[in-house]
């Protein structure tokens, strides 16, 4: 059975993952308002991943006999001063999440909760990828600067990210063309 300290920390992490979901949806709305629909699409696909992250912790707590206690979510920004600022926020947010995952690993080790190791190792790996991707795109946006054709090129490229099959965030799932 999972201990109370780790249960509490994982419940907190469910909140952070749902806030990630919310943040990426908020950034998607901002990009749509700027006609950067490819970037908005990328953010929605990312939001889908964040919901999966939240559910991994949700199921783990339940499977280990703990109690899931959902918490209030923070209100995110709805406006950014530039495309670059929005991507920088996403990158910074991923660094914050990595820190939280490291905190969970420390608690699990201190409490000798070996059963959570595979899940937390998966998240540690996932964060390497999430940070690397957000950092790379932020660098690219920084490189194109004020060049509108460069931005358009990146927007088209980011539109290529596939939605996981059956994603409720895929406009095809609710009969919309993106």
Query: Is 155 among the residues that bind ligand OFO (CB under 6 A)?
Result: no
CA distance 54 to 21: 9
Helix (H) or strand (E) holding 2: none
Q: Does 26 bind ligand OFO (CB under 6 A)?
A: no
Question: Among 21, 22, 15, 3, which residue's Cα sits nearest to residue 100?
Answer: 15
Longest dimension (CA), the chain: 55
What's the CA gap between 145 and 30, in Å, rounded? Answer: 18
Q: How many binding residues for ligand OFO (CB under 6 A)? A: 7
Interface mask toward ligand OFO for 73-102; x: CB under 6 A: ---------------------x--x-----
Decide: is 17 part of the binding site for ligand OFO (CB under 6 A). yes
117, two tokens: 């190791």
- Which CB sits closer to ligand OFO, 50 or 151? 50
In terms of CB distance, is 47 or 151 closer to ligand OFO? 47
20 lies in the site for ligand OFO, by CB under 6 A: yes
Which tokens go with 178?
Answer: 């993106």
Query: What residues make contact with ligand OFO under the rule CB under 6 A?
Result: 17, 20, 50, 53, 94, 97, 130
């Amino acid at each position: 059975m999972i201990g109370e300290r780790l249960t509490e920390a994982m419940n907190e992490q469910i909140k952070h993952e749902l806030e990630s979901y919310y943040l990426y949806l908020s950034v998607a709305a901002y990009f749509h308002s700027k006609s950067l629909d490819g970037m908005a699409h990328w953010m929605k696909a990312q939001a889908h991943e964040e919901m999966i992250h939240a559910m991994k912790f949700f199921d783990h707590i339940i499977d280990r006999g703990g109690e899931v206690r959902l918490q209030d979510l923070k209100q995110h920004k709805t406006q950014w001063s530039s495309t670059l600022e929005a991507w920088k926020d996403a990158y910074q947010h991923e660094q914050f999440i990595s820190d939280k995952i490291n905190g969970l690993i420390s608690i699990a080790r201190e409490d000798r909760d070996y059963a959570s190791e595979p899940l937390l190792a998966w998240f540690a790996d996932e964060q390497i990828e999430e940070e690397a991707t957000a950092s790379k795109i932020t660098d690219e946006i920084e490189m194109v600067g004020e060049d509108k054709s460069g931005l358009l090129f990146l927007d088209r490229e980011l539109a290529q990210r596939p939605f996981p099959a059956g994603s409720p965030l895929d406009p095809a799932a609710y009969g919309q063309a993106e």
